[in-house]
Amino acid sequence: MSERRDGSGAGDPDEERRYHVDGELVPASGATVSVEDRGFAYGDAAFETLRAYGGEVFRWDAHAARLADTCETLGLDHGLTDANLKARIDETLAANDFRDAYVKLSISRGVQPGTLDPQPEVDPTVVVIAKPLPRGGVDSAPVHDGPAALQTTKTRKPASRALPADAKTHNYLNGILARLELRVTGADEALMLDPDGNVAEGATSNLFFADGTALKTPSLDGPILPGVTRRAVIEIAEAEGIPVEEGTYAPDAVREADEVFLTNSTWEIRPVATVDGIAVDGDGEGVEGPLTALLSRLFDRRVEERYYEGERL
Over residues 17-74, the pLDDT tens digits come to 999 999 999 999 999 999 999 999 999 999 999 999 999 999 999 999 999 999 999 9
Q: How far apart are CA 225 and CA 120, in angstroms?
A: 26
Counting beta carbons within 10 angstroms of the beta carbon of residue 89, is it exposed (0 to 12), middle (13 to 18) or buried (19 or more)? buried
pLDDT of res. 73: 97
Detail the DSSP E strand segments found in the chain. Answer: 18-21, 24-27, 45-53, 56-57, 101-108, 125-132, 148-152, 189-193, 199-201, 206-210, 215-218, 244-247, 259-264, 268-275, 278-279
Counting beta carbons within 10 angstroms of the beta carbon of residue 284, is it exposed (0 to 12), middle (13 to 18) or buried (19 or more)? exposed
Detail the DSSP E strand segments found in 54-201. Answer: 56-57, 101-108, 125-132, 148-152, 189-193, 199-201
pLDDT of res. 14: 61
* Pick among 3.30.470.10, 3.40.630.30, 3.40.1190.10, 3.90.110.10: CATH of 18-132: 3.30.470.10
For the chain, what are the domain ranges? 18-132, 148-307
Q: How far apart are CA 174 and CA 169, in angstroms?
A: 11
Fold of 148-307: D-amino Acid Aminotransferase; Chain A, domain 2 (3.20.10)
Tens of pLDDT along 269-303? 999 999 999 999 755 555 689 999 999 999 999 99
Tens of pLDDT along 118-176? 998 999 999 999 999 999 999 999 999 899 999 999 999 999 999 999 999 999 999 99
The pTM assigned to this predicted structure is 0.93
- Please check whether residue 224 is in contact with residue 201, taking contact to mean a CB–CB distance below 8 angstroms: yes
pLDDT of res. 313: 85
- DSSP-H helix ranges across 7-112: 38-42, 60-74, 82-96
